Structure 1
């Protein structure tokens, strides 16, 4: 991505002024009209004001017109007043000295005979947001709260909350909260009442953690007289005000059951309101009031179904999605109550994908023994949908219903029919589901394997689907005649497959197949272990090495570890805990329901987790690039040499077998004769064989010498634009997490602290940024010999003391060696 273009870098469009001449002309014309009383002056001012506002809107600095705009505001034309107030509010915050010029005319307008001008002037005065001018707000706000016009009182109520955010002490000292409370309970204008309620909630919620008085006032707001005062007038309020009142009522705790029914009776007609926000707010009240009353709570679900389903079918798609999100939450909490309404969740052809996806999840939830056939039939129709993501989701939904133990026989037949559609994405999703079904229902293996065995592995390209197919090849190798040969062809093409998940499944499947059909799989297993040990992905390398060491130790033990007796999986893990679901339910009628996560997960910084990696460097600060000497960074990995030594080589070199690795195994007699293997699978209790596993599997692993040292250019230079271009072009050659020294975390007070340290190791920072707990860096380094580059994206989380890095390199064969050098340099950060 290209760096963001600053205002000064954009070329001016033909319709916008490119220099200061136009603004200077506008300033001169405004000054000429400032004191003019000639007929038509207001019309001329309007045109000039419009031009100034349009310039301001497109980002041109017209702050030099401040004095002239203020002088021209001395008029009774309300349109001119509005434009002038807009201009003043925009520039006052950034020009506090100029804002002082506006005080006199705004205070004067606050006493105008026209209530519209009084209200606009008061709103603009409170919108200046300049701390030095707070003293000038107290008088006009007090007058505004006592004004005879409802519009002015309404503006003044919101103005109090603005004043509170500028200077809380001034607001409290002027006794504005008490005045707001009086207006809230006695003002005849419902909009004034609503604004007072909004302002008081904002003020008291902000003071709740530090003030006992604020806590008492907030509790008084939730008293029975206040709540009933609002409920009795709720029909007079606007839709926004009704939502505000209902949100307050949802926090009220009634004293007994009769009071609960009184409130619900008062709000019964709000469920029929045309505004979706009012309906949802009312539903939240009903649900919160009846949480402790199980029977009544269930009746509430029955009562609110019709209003919600009506809102879903009417209104805009955005409103339908918002309502459907809340209905989805209720369906997930009580699917049985909605099982008879499953047809309402059928997808319509003209609905957007995000709506269809929610409906598919709801269909999955409400499925039971009575409606499974109809739901699965409908979902199978979606599998042929032209919308591929929805087709995928529908197939997953069929699989989820099968895992719920509803009419499994018919569902398995439907899934197997999907494989006959010969569509890549359908086949891929079906294979993944069949894998899960076989884990839960092993008795269906004969029917499934008969169909899956006819699928060519060349036609399966998606990693998850290929991994599922490989799993079945290993798990049911005795039932699939071609299993060893299919695995062998996949292993031969190891380098062409870039998915670590597929490589991991290949290793395990080759091991399982070897224990069932040793002669046919012997060669493939040896090739798989050799390729896995040489793989650059750490998990693949570790698993291959683990299997290799396990076979060295004892083949029978290896069989018990890799190929234990099959056990059906009874329950699959839920993606969300019940605690999180309850938290979302408590935040009903909020974005938490739409995002399907509690508010703290997307509001509180400490719960957001590590931010997503991005290629965009424009928002990070450029790091310095200066160093005086070339630092030789050598990869120190003594144990790796020992890990890959064959037994005979270890004995010849006298290398100790115990190397501190988790994979250390006892020595065995490498001089024993190879074991003749029959077609019968090895028994779980067979004695440990004595043979050279390297010879049996065709492995010939030479001693691996330590990698040559990497010489890095201490004076390497790279342009940020070139860095971004290379970052987009190069694939990720290495991605890993590793712990950071706690002393280094303590030393990471600013991003620049690490930049200077890494520069001493000839690793240069191109950009850095972030704040605790997450710091993000982009580094680069250059080899001295061939000038090839290493690019690194590094995210350090100071709370978990972990670093995440992605390495991209011109020469990928040296990525691991550079990664070790990078980790070595980072581990020294903060140490004396």
Structure 2
């Protein structure tokens, strides 16, 4: 029989049922506070553990504050630590209670045990209560001259904490000068390192306020100070060594002899067991020799062995961090690492992220001498049970082929992949075959023979299907079944959700029509009709463009869509040289691991509207009060508004069969000649095409006074599918006018588009608009709009009750934005 719920609950001290346990603890602590019975510390420990346990799981035990302070009168360091932890947690939020701790903390700062003195001083400085600053000065002054190194170590950081609580108090007490003296004279290396850390931060923050602080900051980078730290670097902890090496990297040596002196002093740091010390030393060596080409190359040779040793030893996390930096060096000097490619072979026990980076390394170091061995190794990974690694291996093989290394053998390997009958292998290989055909057209015959045997129904991934469609259109003349395969894909247009595939399909069908018109005329008509009725803006526009250019001149369409093509010599790099150099300058930082410079994460303006779109922030409508009707104003604290905005909607919506357009003939008594046959085209109906041209988009008539409450807006936004998602622009005058966002809201209201919520900070602003049809109040359009005033660009998403009117409203909305500021 199960025990009653109450007994189960009370038997688990980590899961108290309510306030009863806290009250019980309060009584027990009060009994023990004044007791002097032998062994009482053991009982206190058990109670303190319960208090800390409750505090850790989020139970409010602040009511025990006075009892905990009374029980702190003990010489037991374990009890002291738990008491300080408790006090530090609740003092910040309860300044009045923090006053109760001052007496016993100050008393402990004078204790005979240096460990208790240090712990008390650290806790006293961690209270972070501005009203208690006056009580910190005395203990800190005493701590800086304490005979024990641990107390001085804690005090040097306590000075920095005091500066952040009250900078004026810290400076008036002349603590920075004392720290400087300790830094240059103290025998304890940890005290010296903490002094350096605190002074750098204090003077760095004060440098913009006073010239004296600027001079002191420059003095840290003087030759005597730098050499003082270099000569003592072996005494420091690993953390302190990294800190000193970072400081030295900012120093500018006077000549090459000084550079060699520094490098000779730090040569043995490359053999350090700690990866952080090695990377910091590598960064320093690389920076010092940037202007010395020959020496810089020697540095690469010198640092190669330590880095490879770190990669092969230690945890996977350390290996990944070191290999990320090694990858950056390989990209800058691949020839120096080409003979060490076997170090980058994947191990069975390697986690995915390490294997992926090793594949990138193998791709980077590949050259004429090692390509065969590397590709052979990569082909082994393709059969790996780890599907993501198999995909990455195929991509790596393709990248090596695009570098013109052993192309003949690699193409044969890729074609063998297509015969493996594994969906993911076939998909990745098709994408690479497309790129290889663009660069090596001479391999088309062999590739086409294999690709022609692949069933389009077996390809489900959008990129792979797009690649197959591209091949069918590009080589329609050579592939016998190309028109019929394309026709079957057009017939399943409604089932294709990828806009990329639909775009490629439009182009491929037109290319096929231009070389084999009799067999493709039906597929072309169906494709253009479906494209014109497609809700995705790009697909619709491309279909309309093809229709109009065919109507005007078929030979012109051939010159535009299917001109003679030259082989692609170089594929665009994803990163500019400027960004790569910026990442190299930030060596030994997270920028190397993310392969992005730090400003991408730190500078909000650089992130752009696409990054900002994930951050809803707190909406405010105060600026819109003058233009938004009172019944739709959103409260400033209504943070629940539009919580579904960040959902990842599909950018395209399947087209509707209900859309219809009236069309003039496609051709008027014109003829088109190709290499195979003459084909007379009289008009659209003779071809059996159902292509239709769109009517002019009617002017959108909106209700000048729409009404919608926030809860309805939120509900509709969550329920309605995405109709339109695209980029827009605003005029430079409009961007300048966005210093007052209410001007935009007033302007859009003049266009019968009202704002229901707004937020963000310049230059990234976010607005939510709504509008209603003039003849149908129930037909509502909802808009999420993100504007970057610095780039004059906008992104907006539209959801609507009436999907067929979405594009008309989108045109109206975008034209309103582009005109903003011109009237």
TM-score, normalising length from structure 1?
Answer: 0.85
How far apart are 1:420 and its partner, in Å?
0.6
Residues 308 and 758 of structure 1: is their aligned pair in 2 closer, same or farther, counting only changes over 3 Å?
A: farther
Is 1:699 aligned to residue 698 of structure 2? no
Answering whether residue 710 of structure 2 is matched by residue 714 of structure 1, we say: no
Partner of 1:561: 560
Look up the match of 2:287: 288
User: What SS does structure 2 have at the residue aligned with 1:422?
Assistant: coil
1:680 to 672, 675, 678: 675
1:22-41 correspondence runs (5 A): 22-41=21-40
Name 1:738's counterpart in structure 2.
728
CA separation of 1:708/1:260 partners in 2, compared to 1, >3 Å: closer, same or farther? closer
Matches within 5 A, 1:265-280: 265-280=264-279
Change (3 A) 1:584 1:77: same
Q: Kindly tell me: are residues 131 and 396 of structure 1, through their superposed partners in 2, closer, same or farther at Cα, counting changes over 3 Å?
A: same
Show CA shifts across 1:89-127 (max 9, x none).
112222223223322322222222221121111111111
Offset from partner CA, 1:26-67 (integer Å, 9 cap, x none): 334434443443444433333333222222212222223323
Quick one: structure 1 residues 691 and 352, their matched pair in 2 at CA, closer, same or farther if it must change by over 3 Å? Answer: same
CA apart distance, 1:789:
7.9
3-state SS, counterpart of residue 548 of structure 2: helix
Distance (whole Å) between structure 1 residues aligned to residue 539 and residue 740 of structure 2: 36
Q: Is the 2:554–2:672 Cα contact (8 Å) retained in structure 1?
A: no
How far did 1:743 drift? 5.1
1:307 corresponding residue in structure 2: 306
Task: Say whether 1:136 aligns with 2:172.
Answer: no
Change (3 A) 1:823 1:15: farther
- In structure 1, C-alpha distance between the alignment counterparts of 2:103 and 2:311, rounded to whole Å: 53
| Secondary structure of the structure 2 residue equivalent to 1:491 | helix
User: Residues 734 and 245 (structure 1 numbering): CA distance in 2 closer, same or farther, change over 3 Å?
Assistant: same
Please give the secondary structure, in 2, of the residue aligned with 1:588.
coil
Q: How far apart, in 2, do the equivalents of 1:694 and 1:103 lie?
A: 94
Q: Flag the 1:212–1:818 CA change in 2: closer, same or farther, 3 A.
A: same
Instruction: Give the match's secondary structure for 2:725.
Output: strand
Residue matched to 1:773 = 763
Answer yes or no: is 1:447 the counterpart of 2:446. yes
Distance in 1, Cα, partners of 2:542 & 2:56: 60
TM-score by length of 2: 0.86
Equivalent runs, 1:468-547 vs 2, <5 Å: 468-547=467-546
Query: What is the distance in 1 between the residues matched to 2:386 and 2:722?
Result: 31
Residue 152 (structure 1) aligns with: 151
Question: Residues 482, 707 of structure 1: CA spacing in aligned structure 2 closer, same or farther, 3 A cutoff?
Answer: farther
Q: 1:740, CA displacement in angstroms?
A: 4.7
Which moved further from structure 2: 356-365 or 556-565? 556-565
Q: Is the 8 A contact 1:627 1:759 kept in 2?
A: no
- Compared with structure 1, are the counterparts of its residues 705 and 113 closer, same or farther at alpha carbon in structure 2 (3 Å cutoff)? closer
Deviation at 1:208, TM superposition (A): 3.4
Give the direction of change, closer, same or farther, for the CA distance of 1:385–1:779 in structure 2 (3 Å limit).
farther
Does structure 1 residue 332 correspond to structure 2 residue 331? yes
Instruction: Report if the CA contact (8 A) 1:519-1:677 is conserved.
Output: no
Matches within 5 A, 1:594-613: 594-610=593-609, 612=611
Instruction: Supply the distance in 2 between the matched residues of 1:604 and 1:335 (Cα, whole angstroms).
Output: 32
Q: Greater relative contact order: 1 or 2 (C-alpha under 8 angstroms, separation 6 or more)? A: 1
Residue 245 of structure 2 aligns to a residue whose secondary structure is helix
Q: 1:703 to 1:245 in 2, by over 3 A?
A: closer
- Cα distance in 2 for partners of 1:484, 1:427 equals 22
Instruction: Kindly state the Cα deviation for residue 88 of structure 1 after the two structures are TM-superposed.
Output: 1.8
Deviation at 1:750, TM superposition (A): 8.2
| 1:804 counterpart residue number | 795
The corresponding residue for 2:349 is: 350
1:757 Cα offset (Å): 8.2
- Alignment CA distance shift 1:701-1:259 (3 Å): closer
CA contact (8 A) 1:751 1:768 kept: no
Do the aligned residues in 2 keep the contact of 1:710 with 1:818 (CA within 8 Å)? no
CA distance in 2, matches of 1:701, 1:249: 70
Q: How far apart are 1:193 and its partner, in Å?
A: 1.0
Deviating more after overlay: 37-46 vs 822-831: 822-831
SS of 1:610's partner is helix
- State the Cα distance separating 1:403 from its structure 2 match: 0.9
The answer as to whether partners of 1:626 and 1:759 remain within 8 angstroms in 2 is no
CA distance in 2, matches of 1:773, 1:678: 55
Check conservation: 1:49, 1:84, Cα contact below 8 A.
Answer: yes
CA change 1:673–1:44 in 2 (3 A) is closer
Contact 1:516 1:682 in 2 (8 A): no
Q: Which moved more, 1:787-796 or 1:447-456?
A: 787-796
Matches of 1:534 and 1:786 in 2, distance apart?
A: 26
Alpha carbon RMSD of aligned pairs, Å?
A: 3.6
Task: State the alpha-carbon separation in 2 of the partners of residues 152 and 442 from structure 1.
Answer: 74
SS in 1 for 2:419: helix
Show the counterpart of 2:223: 224
CA distance in structure 2 between the partners assigned to 1:435 and 1:566 by the alignment = 14
Q: Relative to 1, partners in 2 of residues 1:34 and 1:778: Cα closer, same or farther, differing over 3 Å? A: farther
Equivalent positions of 1:365-376 (< 5 A) are: 365-376=364-375
Distance of 1:751 and 1:271 partners within structure 2: 59
CA displacement, residues 698-722 of structure 1 (integer Å, 9 cap, x when unaligned): 4344746749868898356747996
Q: Is the 8 A contact 1:807 1:819 kept in 2?
A: yes
Q: Does 1:795 align with 2:786?
A: yes
Q: Helix, strand or coil: the match of 2:796?
A: strand
CA distance in 1, matches of 2:157, 2:193: 10
What is the match of residue 120 of structure 2?
Answer: 121
1:434 is aligned to 433
What does residue range 582-661 of structure 1 map to in structure 2 within 5 Å?
582-610=581-609, 612=611, 646-647=663-664
Q: Which residue of 1 aligns with 2:3?
A: none
More deviation, 154-163/94-103: 94-103
CA–CA distance in 1 between the matches of 2:554 and 2:661? 19
3-state SS of 1:573 partner: coil
Conserved? CA contact 2:109–2:116, under 8 Å = yes
State the Cα distance separating 1:188 from its structure 2 match. Answer: 0.7
Instruction: Rate the CA distance shift 1:281–1:472 in 2: closer, same or farther, 3 A.
Output: same
Q: Over residues 716-744 of structure 1, what are the superposed CA-to-partner deviations in whole Å (9 max), with x where a residue is unaligned?
A: 674799679x45xx654421122357658
Paired with 2:736 and 2:492, the residues of 1 have a C-alpha distance of 43
| Partner SS, residue 327 of structure 2 | helix
The alignment partner of 1:252 has SS state of coil
| Aligned residue-pair number | 776
Structure 1 residue matching 2:367: 3-state secondary structure: coil
Question: Do 1:33 and 1:45's aligned partners in 2 also have CA atoms closer than 8 Å?
Answer: yes
Q: Which moved more, 1:57-66 or 1:116-125?
A: 57-66
Measure, in 2, the Cα distance between the counterparts of 1:512 and 1:197: 69
**1:518–1:678 CA contact under 8 A, matched in 2:** no
- Measured after TM superposition, the shift of residue 482 of structure 1 is 1.6
* Alpha-carbon contact 1:473-1:480 (below 8 Å) kept: yes
Q: CA deviation at 1:762?
A: 8.7
Q: Shift of residue 84 of structure 1?
A: 2.0
Closer/same/farther in 2, CA of residues 237 and 432 from structure 1, 3 Å limit? same
Rounded to whole Å, the distance in 1 between the matches of 2:449 and 2:27 is 88
Show structure 1 runs of 5+ residues with no match. Answer: 1-12, 630-642, 649-669
* Matched-pair contact (CA < 8 Å) for 1:30–1:72: yes
Q: Secondary structure at the residue paired with 1:804?
A: strand
Residue 261 of structure 1 corresponds to: 260
Please give the alpha-carbon distance, in whole angstroms, between the structure 1 residues aligned to 2:101 and 2:576: 56
**Superimposed CA distance per residue, residues 272-327 of structure 1 (whole angstroms, 9 cap, x where no aligned partner):** 21111111112112212221211111111111111111111111111111111111
For residues 293 and 549 of structure 1, what CA distance do their matches in structure 2 show?
Answer: 61
CA distance in 1, matches of 2:485, 2:111: 89
| Contact kept? 1:190, 1:236, Cα under 8 Å | yes
